């Protein structure tokens, strides 16, 4: 999760695509139009739900276009095959 957050901060689109599960990965991800300033990440919990699945609950703080800071609270699901892949997330 931390590596994916860092990829958003650094706009590493290719890394995000590569770490997204093929079943749920978007066909295109353009971060260049995004005026998001990422301010921080707090991991609330991370747990393996089986040998090849896990969840991570986190809060990411950000600003868009210089407006006041906002929070994104999400529980993400990950799956492991040859590496860990982001599958989906539920925003709270």
Average pLDDT, the chain: 94
Judging by beta carbons within 10 Å of its beta carbon (0-12, 13-18, 19+), is residue 81 exposed, middle or buried? Answer: exposed
pLDDT for the residue 57: 98
CB atoms within 10 A of CB 56: 20
Name the pLDDT band for 17 (thresholds 50, 70, 90). Answer: very high
Domains and CATH numbers, the chain: 2-91 (3.10.450.50)
Please check the confidence at residue 81 and state whether its pLDDT lies above 80: yes
pLDDT for the residue 69: 95
CB atoms within 10 A of CB 57: 18
Tell me what the mean pLDDT of segment 39-68 comes to: 95
Tell me what the mean pLDDT of segment 37-42 comes to: 95
pTM of this prediction?
0.90
């Amino acid at each position: 999760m931390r590596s994916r957050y860092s990829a958003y901060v650094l706009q590493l689109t290719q890394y995000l695509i590569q770490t997204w599960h093929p079943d749920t990965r978007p066909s295109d991800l353009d971060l260049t139009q995004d005026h998001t300033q990422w301010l921080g990440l707090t991991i609330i919990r991370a747990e393996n739900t089986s040998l090849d699945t896990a969840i991570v609950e986190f809060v990411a703080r950000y600003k868009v276009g210089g407006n006041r800071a906002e929070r994104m609270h999400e529980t993400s699901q990950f799956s492991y095959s040859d590496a860990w892949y982001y599958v989906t997330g539920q925003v709270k």
